Amino acid sequence: MTQLLVTNRAGKERAVDAEGGQSLMQALRALGFDDILAICGGVCACATCHVHVDPSYLDRLPPMGEDEAALLEGSEHRTPQSRLSCQIPVDDIPPGLKIHIAPED
List the domain boundaries for the chain. Answer: 2-101
CA distance readout (Å), 85 to 23, 29, 46, 88: 7, 10, 11, 5
pLDDT over 90 at 80, yes or no: yes
**Rounded mean pLDDT, 69-94:** 96
Average pLDDT, the chain: 96
pLDDT at site 105? 87
pLDDT at residue 95, rounded to an integer: 92
Residue-wise pLDDT tens digits, 12-61 = 999 999 999 999 999 999 999 999 999 999 999 999 999 999 999 999 99
Residue among 71, 60, 66 nearest 38 (CA): 71
The predicted structure's pLDDT at residue 54: 98
Please name the CATH architecture into which domain 2-101 falls. Roll (3.10)
